[in-house]
Structure 1
């Protein structure tokens, strides 16, 4: 493990949210920061881009954060992000069953005492108060599979917990880590509705997170260099001594921290001794260029179709499917037509399919199983000046925006000797 040292400069490979979080925290503390990314734009898996097929700026995925995510608030406040995160005033989650055409809203009260489960109009239709009690076992931080902890059946499971956990873990909830599920539930539903209000970036993730961070860093002399890939790392004893960015090994100064904020498969290719998750799950998103129909909820959970969540943006409709490995090899137009049929059924539309785009992330997150969770490394390594950042490191959370931002904060604290 790295000693408690304080570095006066840092080189960061990777300009996703984890790398940007580390860069911002270090620069705020007065550390000279150099950050590079192999891609043509910053943001990693939380990027926005102009799609010529749609004629719109879209996100690669519909990433959701919650009002109780403290690292999200800290990061956006620090970089002066003014683009709002849109969402309801309360923790209201609306669902629609495409088979029965029934729609309902689960309304979680603001306070920590969950009296909403005692009100039939607020809880899952067909559920009773007693149906909720067994799921308190999911708050235990002991590891194991979720389906070994609770009975994965009944209306509370199938019409609330299963879709919420699937979205948070990006892994079939039954086989997922009970420890990670507990982390999610303890920080959200266990704290009450004030911590669980859904928030979506409008108009884009770039505007809400990435652009203000890049501007903040550039204003402080730490502009991000794009199209620059770290190809090799040289080590000697307990420290990194050199980095190869394609032009040969460049020396690493004695007071310089090196932060790998890259995907796990890149980190292990650079440092083969590292252990990291090696099983992943896909996410598939569909985007459709259609202004929001009147009465469409901003976010709608779907049952009985292929799409799982429907997001209504001012200029487009988007759907998301988690743990979507079964869809990755499906024909793109066939997938778009399947999604569009779900959208029409959910919103009562009779409209030809508009311009569309399908975005597939084959390795969107690590598989949130107990076995893969156990492979997540800490931020510190056995090399005193090498640190790891990313939602795949041991943040205690699944692979989320909040986890990525916290990982950046963690490596910054370590590099500062705190």
Structure 2
């Protein structure tokens, strides 16, 4: 059997996922990353302003995310993904002070909608029939076309949850992508919908064990290596230029391009990629949460949308935050801190803080942008694409990124074995 070789361009989760699967297939793998550290948009770093190690964003996964589980099992990740034992989602409305918890039962039969104190206040069991239309959403349709964006069920559950999932105003979001997420979570019951958060952070849960796993198998991961250009000959990439002239690509070598969509488009003129994006704003406060604070709290009626309680900090996430991305950071920190105090019911001076803005965090998950996502294959027989922006069938999520790496690795391996 041919051993073969592969080059993975990009050490975000998609690239690391591809590198792990290619290594498992027996290929000699090199990983090249333009930045000084791996992880892409899923990374941890020590922030001197607050004196803590924080994540660039609060990325949530669900217990039913099978690719996440496979990846972590493969690399021997030991740090747990923490979360509740049941799919309980607490909310607070800062506008009127209302508090409630949506409690989804463990099994697939959704009897929770029949129980008043498990469902959204102000809703009836029959209101949830509308979810059936979301589960059957098709390409080209928006969520707003499948479900009327009004009423208590929409404002108190569907809108905040889909905003976090899609990073796009939900009524404009893709019904097809929404349906895919719901089929893999809510439709399978509470056990598949359990929220899981990386503790102590993303690096410990995903990135560091992947790098250690690759290093233990002799697979090189080079930082600070930015791909400048690709040299094409016929139907294949013949050489890669890392800034010091072209380096030949062997016949038994495949390339997985796991870079952001704008970078991929610059390297491959004519490649259609998503070209509209939405911001995500995160804030971190160096203070322990109050006793009994839930690991995750949905917030309505404030600037904050979701609060995450860690042992050493409280974090805020705001999706589709285009209107906040250009605001003064201290103004944002004070607004978020006010929301935190109201949501948790305490009063304290503003602690040390950090605000992290990602102005182009993910592609806009609309039908039009979903249609611009390329598949993993390209017109070049030795080049494959990976990334949460490729056609994974999911929104831009950790699960989608890891799946894209698996798919690109499988196709690259098949190409090398058949070369």
Instruction: Give the TM-score taking structure 1 as reference length.
Output: 0.98
Counterpart of 1:91 in structure 2 is 87
Would the aligned equivalents of 1:214 and 1:223 in 2 still touch at CA under 8 Å? no
2:111 is the alignment partner of 1:107: no
Counterpart of 2:173 in structure 1 is 176
Pick from 9, 34, 58 the counterpart of residue 5 of structure 2.
9
Instruction: Could you tell me which runs of 5 or more consecutive residues in structure 2 were left unpaired when the two chains were aligned.
Output: none
- Structure 1 window deviating more from structure 2 (148-157 vs 335-344): it is 148-157
Quote the offset at 1:7 in angstroms.
7.3
Would the aligned equivalents of 2:3 and 2:28 in 1 still touch at CA under 8 Å? no
Counterpart of 2:57 in structure 1 is 61
Q: Counterparts in 2 of 1:273-312, with a 5 A limit?
A: 273-312=270-309
- Structure 1 window deviating more from structure 2 (314-323 vs 158-167): it is 158-167
Quote the offset at 1:292 in angstroms.
2.0
1:313-347 CA-to-partner distances (Å, cap 9, x unmatched) read: 00000000000010010000000000000000001
Pick from 41, 44, 69 the counterpart of residue 45 of structure 1.
41
Distance 1:179 1:362, change over 3 A: same
Instruction: Give the TM-score taking structure 2 as reference length.
Output: 0.98
Counterpart of 2:201 in structure 1 is 204
How many residue pairs match? The answer is: 414
Helix, strand or coil at the partner of 2:414: coil
1:131-189 CA-to-partner distances (Å, cap 9, x unmatched) read: 11022101114121111111111111111111111100000000011100101111110
Instruction: State the Cα RMSD in Å.
Output: 1.1
- Structure-2 separation of matches of 1:214 and 1:70: 21
- Structure-1 separation of matches of 2:146 and 2:61: 26
Counterpart of 2:128 in structure 1 is 132
2:23 is the alignment partner of 1:22: no
- Structure-2 separation of matches of 1:264 and 1:192: 34
Counterpart of 1:255 in structure 2 is 252
- Structure-2 separation of matches of 1:111 and 1:149: 25
Would the aligned equivalents of 2:33 and 2:221 in 1 still touch at CA under 8 Å? yes
Pick from 74, 79, 88 the counterpart of residue 78 of structure 1.
74
- Structure-2 separation of matches of 1:207 and 1:107: 30
Would the aligned equivalents of 1:6 and 1:417 in 2 still touch at CA under 8 Å? no
Helix, strand or coil at the partner of 2:220: coil
**Stretches of 4+ aligned residues off by more than 6 angstroms:** none
- Structure-2 separation of matches of 1:84 and 1:210: 13
1:58-85 CA-to-partner distances (Å, cap 9, x unmatched) read: 0000000000000000000000000000
1:14-54 CA-to-partner distances (Å, cap 9, x unmatched) read: 00000000000110111100001110100000000000001
Counterpart of 2:339 in structure 1 is 342
Helix, strand or coil at the partner of 2:72: helix
- Structure-1 separation of matches of 2:354 and 2:391: 34
Would the aligned equivalents of 1:6 and 1:415 in 2 still touch at CA under 8 Å? no
- Structure 1 window deviating more from structure 2 (72-81 vs 156-165): it is 156-165
2:377 is the alignment partner of 1:380: yes
